[in-house]
Structure 1
Amino acid sequence: MKPFPFRSDVLATRAVRILWLCYFITLTWLLVNRSPIELVRSQETFFAAAELAMPWSHLAGFGVLAVLTFVARWPISRWLTVLLLVLYSLATEYGQTFIPTRHPQLIDLAQNFAGIALGCGLAWAAGLAVSRWWPAPDGQPDLV
């Protein structure tokens, strides 16, 4: 199946990959920043939302990353994609040991893994739904 049911599949894929790259850079910057909470708190409009979202930030952040990773349709296997997401999660938590005000936590790692699992599940379910609505042309791989 084509990655997107649009006329310009190449442009749609590029747009999603650019969005993925921007999100990946932003997430990495927040994960290795000295004080991401202070960055968010400095923006008064985001303060209330940040206070509510902070306990779930790792789960949501890695869930969105997993969905975007699968929607971007990188030319690698699904299992390798999941492995790379898990390794990225481990690397960012380990990298926090080198930042004076940060330290890795098992709860963060658990939320990272749960977010990856949730995001992969959502992407798989969405791919299954899309493949039923727009069947794959002959010779094209299916989404799921």
Structure 2
Amino acid sequence: MERRDFVSNLSMVLALACAGGLAACSKSSSDAPDPGNGGGGGNNAKLTADLGSELLNTGSFKIGGGVILIRIAAGNTASSFAALSSTCTHQGCTVATFNSSSNLIECNAPCGHGSRYTTTGAVQTGPATNPLTKMTIAISGNTLTVS
């Protein structure tokens, strides 16, 4: 194999790997894209959820508008949810998922450093050393608003 072919093939592999990492970052518990502010919560709303159709089960989550919102208990009260900044405090990327088996928020793509946080925002596993910022939750009827 000539050097030019090798470099060309290597570039293609790296481009595909980067595209895969970006696709992993966009994963959420909903198939519908989330524009962040779904309205109904005033101009300070970072994220809204319709509790009649979203986050119905404990462990379900939604990421958008700089927030990760997790249902941690049954019932439609603010204490049944955790709302935290979705920005990892280690490298500033968006956390990738909530693992309902371990009850940990995971930042594993694209940063790849593996920091994990509890639903209170505390660091469970580094290299991150600072907690995720807690957000304010308000519920009116079936509409949950995070600000």
Q: Fold match, TM over 0.5?
A: no
Q: Scaled by the length of structure 2, what TM-score is found? A: 0.31
Q: Provide the TM-score with structure 1 as the length reference.
A: 0.31
More strand by share: 2
Higher RCO, Cα 8 Å, sep 6+: 1
Structure with the higher helix share, 1 or 2 = 1
